[in-house]
Amino acid sequence: MIGISIISHGNLANGLKDSCELIIGAQAQFSTVGLRDGDDLMNSNLMY
């Protein structure tokens, strides 16, 4: 199965995932990341 990652500003990614799951049901390998002003991407676990 292909994994899906949604990366956005703020809570948009979580909202899109919630909307998708409402329509098509819960999905495996579906992740979200909400970035905020000041997030340090170089020292986060997002770079793995």
12 domain residue, yes or no? yes
Provide the pLDDT for residue 42: 77
Domain, as residue range, for 3: 1-34
4 domain residue, yes or no? yes
Provide the pLDDT for residue 38: 82
Query: pLDDT tens digits, residue range 1-48?
Result: 688 899 999 999 999 999 999 999 998 899 998 888 888 777 776 655
Nearest 10 degrees: CA dihedral of 17, 20, 24, 29?
-30
Is the Cα dihedral 2, 28, 44, 41 positive or negative? Answer: positive
Is the Cα dihedral 6, 11, 17, 40 positive or negative? Answer: positive
* Tokens 């990614």 -> residue: 13
44 domain residue, yes or no? no
